[in-house]
Amino acid sequence: MSTSFSDQNYNRSVIGRSLVDLNHLSSETIHSLFNESLKLKTEYAQNKWSKQTELKGLAALLFFEPSTRTRFSFESACVRSGVHPLVLDGGQGTSLEKGETLEDTVLNIEAMKPLFFVIRAPDEFPFLQLAQQLDVPMINAGWGMKGHPTQALLDMLTVYEKFKTVENKNVLFVGDIKHSRVVSSHLQLAEKLNYQVGYCCPDSFMPQQASLMNPRLHLFNKLEQALNWADAAIALRVQKERHFGEKLDLQSYVERYALTPHSVKALKSDALIMHPGPINYGVEMDQAITRDPRAVILNLVQNGTFLRQAVIQSVLNGGVFQ
Ligand code: NCD
């Protein structure tokens, strides 16, 4: 199966049933996902969710790359939506070990007619192509370095919950920006919701020059200036598995870019400190930062379950992702 399916080649009205990227979502659709997520959160706190959980069917959650938060959060969201999740976790013990392709794995599981797929897969996976060809809608749960739409959505849900708007907010990324699919999805989301994106990282973590021409982007050399600018500071994990043998000077990274009790003094008093997890403590942040009153790292995880539940409900209702 060819993986060179370009953006022009696929039919957006079919792909709108699926959530592969954020390029074609409207601001209204995103705000209705946010408002639905917050409504679900309130209902969950009031213990109302159990009343709506008659079994609707099965979903196939295929995680071809490692995951903790995203997988459990989609599993929770499925159960809360009355959908039983069938999970492939990493592929150990499956026919992938016999050389079966990811595409064939998906096609065979599609034959069992799940209500939808949730898929985490490497860059080469033909997500857009399959989303157009298959009858079953697909939700992207992390696609190589290309995108992680529900992570960007849950980050901004948390900003929205705090400030009641995300418009014109300054969202700063500190860390391994070059290898981050979370940043890729934020660039798409920032276009829709009109927020500013800041980068603060060493040259070796900076994406290619061409992608830095975006007028929405603010580049910072000094962590202090960057933190001072931010309404939300998102620290990113140094993605050692994506550096393919490059030598990393972590010591000098920590000295200049780590979030520490000292460096976060530069943040505004009402700013948010975020991290999508997993965290390398002592590299991108000190453990003490998790106790800073501005840190919302576990709130993100909690909000992620409701955001994903809202996405699943939309998928079950035919999708609104265009
Ligand atoms: C991120 C991911 O897997 O893209 N984490 C997550 O989904 N919560 C970030 C990372 O791996 O560093």
Q: What is the pLDDT of residues 19-59, one digit of tens each?
A: 999 998 999 999 999 999 999 999 999 987 766 678 999 99
Residues near ligand 1 with C-beta < 6 Å? 69-70, 142, 148, 151, 181-182, 237, 239, 276-277
> Among 64, 65, 70, which is best to mutate for testing ligand 1, by the most ligand atoms less than 8 A from CB?
70
- Judged against a pLDDT cut of 80, whether residue 72 lies above it is answered with yes
Q: Which domains does the chain have, with CATH numbers?
A: 12-147+304-316 (3.40.50.1370), 149-301 (3.40.50.1370)
Cα 272 to middle of ligand 1, angstroms: 18
- Judged against a pLDDT cut of 80, whether residue 247 lies above it is answered with no
Report the nearest atom of ligand 1 relative to the CA of 68.
8
> Among 65, 71, 76, 148, which is best to mutate for testing ligand 1, by the most ligand atoms less than 8 A from CB?
148
Query: CA of 10: how far to CAs of 89, 133, 277, in Å?
Result: 29, 10, 33
Q: What is the 3-state secondary structure (H, E, C) of 200-228?
A: ECCHHHCCCHHHHHCCCEEEECCHHHHHH
Confidence band for 319, pLDDT divided at 50, 70 and 90: confident
Looking at every residue in the chain, the average pLDDT score rounds to 92
Cα 227 to middle of ligand 1, angstroms: 22
pLDDT in tens, 249-273: 889 999 999 999 999 999 999 999 9
- The beta-strand segments (E) located in 192-310 are 196-200, 217-220, 232-235, 272-274
Burial class (CB in 10 A: 0-12, 13-18, 19+), 70: buried
Euclidean distance between the first and the last CA atom of the chain, given in angstroms as a whole number? 26
Q: Could you please report the per-residue DSSP string of 99-123?
A: T--HHHHHHHHHTT--SEEEEEE-T
- Judged against a pLDDT cut of 50, whether residue 4 lies above it is answered with no
pLDDT at 239: 82
